[in-house]
Amino acid sequence: MLEMTREMFEELVAEALDRIPPELTRLMDNVAVFVEDEPPADDPELLGLYEGTPLTERGEWYAGVLPDRITIYRGPTLRMCETREDVVAETEITVVHEIAHHFGIDDARLHALGYG
């Protein structure tokens, strides 16, 4: 397994977020991004998770709710990657994938776009 400190991995996630075009980040609303070491035990290979209400499903009722949550998991990413460059690429794909869920894009469309 590739070794990388949590701080280094968090920096890669931050850099991936910085590469999201500003016109998209301006549209993101009420969402927070976290890094965790491991996913839930029932899905040990999960790289990222979006929890919340996508922008496309929000209506007038959407007020005063906790932020949506995007979690990027360090352990499975490091286990599947062989080099730091692999981790950079996979982290970027995972961040984009989860942000896309925030915008209401489903897994089938993401897979078709290469963000599986």
Per residue in 63-97, pLDDT (tens digit) is 889 999 999 999 999 999 999 999 999 999 999 99
Give me 56's structure tokens.
Answer: 């496309």
- CA pair distance 17, 68, nearest whole angstrom: 16
- CA pair distance 12, 73, nearest whole angstrom: 12
- Domain at 4-52+65-111: CATH code: 3.30.2010.20
* Entry pTM: 0.92
Domain ranges of the chain: 4-52+65-111
Q: Which of 64, 62, 66, 37 is nearest to 51 (CA)?
A: 66
The per-residue pLDDT for 32 is 97
* Angle at CA of residue 9, ends 87 and 26, nearest 5°: 95
Helix (H) or strand (E) holding 35: strand 31-36
Give me 12's structure tokens.
Answer: 């890669």
